Structure 1
Amino acid sequence: MIKEIFNVGNGKQISNIEDNIVSLEKARERLQKFQTEREENSIVEHPSEKEETLNSVFQIVQPIVTLDNDVILSIATRVQLDEGLAKLKFHKTIYEDWNFGSVDKQGRSVILNFYGAPGTGKTLTAEAFAGSLGKPIIKLGIAELESKFMGETSKNIQAVFKVATEQDAVLFFDEADTLLGKRLSSVTQGIDNEVNAMRSTLLIELERFNGIAIFATNFAKNYDEAFRSRISHHIHFDLPDLEARKKLWAKMLVDQIPLLEPKDEFIQTASDLSDGFSGREIRTCMRLVLPKALLEAEKNQEDPKVKLEQLQEVIHRIKQAKVEVANSETKLSAKEISTAKSLLGVSK
C-alpha cells in the first residue's frame, strides 16, 4: 500500500489520509455546495440537534436496484454476500430460538466490508443490498462527514448513526480507508487530533449500532485492526469470472444494438478475451465500440453494425492501457517509504 503514496509539488509527500482530509476552507466550500443541492434537489436535512451551529445534511435514497435483478458478481463473491444476508434472514432463529443472543449481545447489527479492485461493483452492490431488504440507504464519504468547525466531524458521525436508526436505513461509507485508517501515533497538529477523534467516535458508534452498515474500499490494507475486528463480514469483490463476464457482456449487448455476427459469438469471444477485466472495464469497451462502429459505417457508407473485429480491437486497446497507463513501476526511496509508514501509523 506504500505505492499509494505519491510525490507532488516540490517533493511534498502526502498519504491517503492527508489526501482525503481537506483544508478547512475546502470543507466550507463543500458545506455551501451541500446546502445549495439541498435547496435545488430537496435533499432531506437531519440536524443532530436544533442548537447545533452546523447542521448535517444527509441524502437518504430509496434504492431502485436489487441483488437478483441488477448485480452480476463472481460465484465466490455472491456466496459471501448471501451469507451476510442469511444473518438477517435467520436472525430470530439464531438469536432467539437458539438463544445465541445470550452470548452475543451485539448480534442485532450487521457490519459488512466490501473490498477489492476498482470497478468490481462494490457501490452498486451496497445499494442493491439495501434495495433487496426494502430499506433506504444513506451514502457517505469523508466529504459528507467533515466539517468547517474543528471537532464537528465527530458530531456529524454521531448524527448520521442516529438518523440511520430512526429511518431504519442502511449506512454506506464509500472510500472507507479514509475513515477506518490506522490512528495517527505522532499527533502534532490539530487536524491529526481531529482524525483520531473521528475514528474513535466511529468505533464507539459501531459498538452501539443495531442496524446495517456497509464499508467499501479499494485499499483494505489501510484499515486499523480495531475496525477490522468489529466488522462481521469481510466480502472480497473478485474480478468477474468467466460466467460473470458472459452475463455482463450479455447485459451490455442490448437487443437494440445491431450486430454483424451472432450475439452468442460476440458474448463467447468477448468473455474469453476480457479475462481480468472488471465490470467497469467491460462497460468501457462498449462505450468505445459503439461510436467506432457508427464512425466506420459512415465512412464506408454502409448500414451501421457492430463487428466482432471492432470489439476485439477495443478490448486490446483496454488491455494496452491497463499496462501502460497509471501503472508505473517507479519505486519509492527508502526515506520516502519510511516517511509514508510514519504518516500512516505503520511501524513495520
Structure 2
Amino acid sequence: MVDPAAFGSHNPNADELLKPWVTEEVVVTNPDSWKDEDLLLCNHRILGFSFVQKTWAAFSVSDMSDVVWNDDAFDKLIIAEKKRRMVRLLVQSHRPNSDCSFDDIIKGKGRGLVGLLSGSPGVGKSLTAEAVAEVSRRPLYSVSAGELGTDVQRVDNRLGMILEIVRRWECVLLIDEADVFLYKRGESQVERNALVSIFLRRLEYFSGIIILTTNRQKDIDEAFKSRIHFKFHYPPLHTEARLKIWENMLASVTDKMPDWKLTDEDMRSLASKPLNGREIKNAVSCVASIIRANQEPLSMSLIMDILETLVEDEEPGDQ
C-alpha cells in the first residue's frame, strides 16, 4: 500500500527516507501534461507498507503496478451456494461511513461486519477471507494471534495500531487462530479475561470487516456470539470437495498445457486421498515448480511421487 503520510506517522525518525516528502507542499496541476524530463525530477522511491512482510518500506516506483482483482475467487469456495451468495451481498454492501449504514444507540458502536469461521486446518477458512477481500476489492491484512502476543498491554497497543491501519485503508482484517481472544472467561483466569475484554472493546468500535478463524467454536465466550454477523463451520473435506479443490488448483497448471489433461479416473484417484486443502495446494505448488525448473511433462506419476514425499505414513513408534 502506497501511503507516504502514514509512513511518516509510524516512522517519524526515518529522516533520510522522509526528507523528499516533507518539503514545501507542491501544487500538482494536470500531471498528464508533464514531460519525461519533468518525471525524471521525481523521487525514484515511494513510501508505503508491505502486507506480506508486515513492515513499512521504500518501494521502487518502477516496480509499482495496479492491483489485479480476482473476481472468480468467491466461486471457488467450497461452501453452500446460499451461504456464498449471502456473504457476497454482505461484504459488497458494507459501507460503514455511508448515510444509510446502521448505527448503535451509542454513536460509532456496532458498525463493523464480523465473521467467524471454524473448522480444522486446511478446510478453507483463510481462503474465504481472501475471497472476501477480492470480491469487496479491498486489501487483506492478515495477522495471527501469535503475532499479537499474549501480554495484555502489548496486545492492546498492537491491535490498536493494526485497526488504525485497517480503518485508514479500508482493509479486510483476518485474525487467524483467534482462539486465545475468543475463549470463555473464568473467575481464576485474570490475564486471559483481560485479553478477551480488550478484544471485545476494540471489536465494539471497529467499523470495518473483520474475519476470525478458530478451531474451538464450542469454547467461544458468550459476549462474542452476539457480535457475529455471519458464522460458518467447515467440516472435514469429503471426496467431492477434495475433487473440486484439485480441479481448481490444477487448472493453473493444465491451462498452460492444453494438450495434456488429467483423466476423470486420475482426478477421482487424487480426490480419494484424505488430504486437506492446504496439503493439496502444497502438492500442486511442488508439481508446478518441478515442471517449470526441469521442463518435465506433467504426469499422474509425478503427482503421485510428490504426494508420497509430502504425506508419509506414520512411523510405528509415533502411534
The reply to whether TM is greater than 0.5 is yes
Show the counterpart of 1:179.
181
Q: Residue in 1 aligned with 2:300?
A: 308
- C-alpha deviations, 1:256-279, integer Å up to 9, x for none? 4698xx5141x5522443234322
**Alignment-derived partner of residue 165 in structure 2:** 163
Please report the TM-score for the alignment, with normalisation by the length of structure 2: 0.61
Report the AA paired with residue 200 of structure 2.
L
Match of 1:270 in 2: 267
Counterpart in the other structure of 2:203: 206
Q: Which residue of structure 1 lines up, in the alignment, with residue 253 of structure 2?
A: 253
Classify 1:64/1:203 alpha carbon distance in 2 versus 1 (closer, same or farther; 3 Å): farther
Which of 61, 73, 78 is 1:74 aligned to? 78
Is contact 1:145-1:156 (8 Å) kept?
Answer: yes
User: Identity over aligned residues, as a percent?
Assistant: 26
CA distance in 2, matches of 1:174, 1:113: 10
Are 2:141 and 2:171, in contact at CA under 8 Å, matched by a contact in 1? yes
- Deviation at residue 117 of structure 1 after TM alignment: 2.5
**AA in 2 matched with 1:285:** A
In the superposition, the TM-score normalised over structure 1's length comes to: 0.57
- Partners of 2:171 and 2:316 lie apart in 1 by 37
Q: Residue 113 of structure 1 aligns with which residue?
A: 116
Q: Which of 125, 128, 131 is the equivalent residue of 1:128?
A: 131
In structure 2, relative to structure 1, the CA distance for the partners of 1:68 and 1:210 (3 Å cut) is same
The 1:63/1:147 distance shift into structure 2, 3 A limit, reads farther
Unaligned runs of 5+ in 1: 1-42, 48-57, 330-348
Counterpart of 1:84 (choices 76, 81, 87) is: 87
Matches within 5 A, 1:52-71: 60=51, 66=70, 68-69=72-73
Q: Does 1:230 align with 2:227?
A: yes
Against the structure 1 CA distance between its residues 46 and 201, is the aligned structure 2 distance closer, same or farther, given a 3 Å change threshold? farther
Q: How far apart are 1:133 and its partner, in Å? A: 1.3
Aligned equivalents of 1:229, 1:328: Cα separation in 2: 42
Q: Deviations over 1:162-201 (max 9, x none)?
A: 33333322221111112222234313xxxx52x3222101
Partner of 1:38: none
What's the CA shift for 1:69? 4.2
RCO comparison, higher one (Cα < 8 Å, 6+): 1
Q: Counterpart amino acid of 1:125?
A: T
Q: Which amino acid aligns with 1:73?
A: L
Give distance in 2, aligned partners of 1:326 and 1:185: 43
| Structure 1 residues 226 and 308, CA gap change in structure 2 (3 angstroms) | same
Cα distance in 2 for residues equivalent to 1:279 and 1:328: 24
Q: What one-letter code is carried by the residue in structure 2 that aligns with 1:113? A: L
Q: Which runs of 5+ in 2 are unaligned?
A: 1-5, 11-48, 53-65
Matched residue type, 1:231: I
Superposition CA RMSD, Å: 4.6
Q: Is the CA contact 2:116–2:230 (under 8 Å) kept in the aligned structure 1?
A: yes
Q: Does 1:220 align with 2:212?
A: no
Q: 1:269 to 1:88 in 2, by over 3 A?
A: same
User: Relative to structure 1, is the Cα distance of residues 243 and 82 closer, same or farther in structure 2, using a 3 angstrom cutoff?
Assistant: farther
Once residues 129 and 119 of structure 1 are traced to their aligned partners in structure 2, the CA distance between those partners, rounded to angstroms, is 17
Indicate the structure with greater helix content.
1
SS in 1 for 2:115: strand
SS of 2:231 mapped into structure 1: strand
Describe the SS at the equivalent of 1:151: helix
Alignment-derived partner of residue 196 in structure 1: 193
Deviations 1:80-112 (A, max 9, x none): 2431221244569xx988x98799996642101
Distance verdict in 2 for CA 1:327–1:208, change over 3 Å: farther
The residue correspondences of 1:134-149 to structure 2 (distance < 5 A) are 134-146=137-149
Relative distance call for 1:138 and 1:313 in structure 2 (3 A) is closer
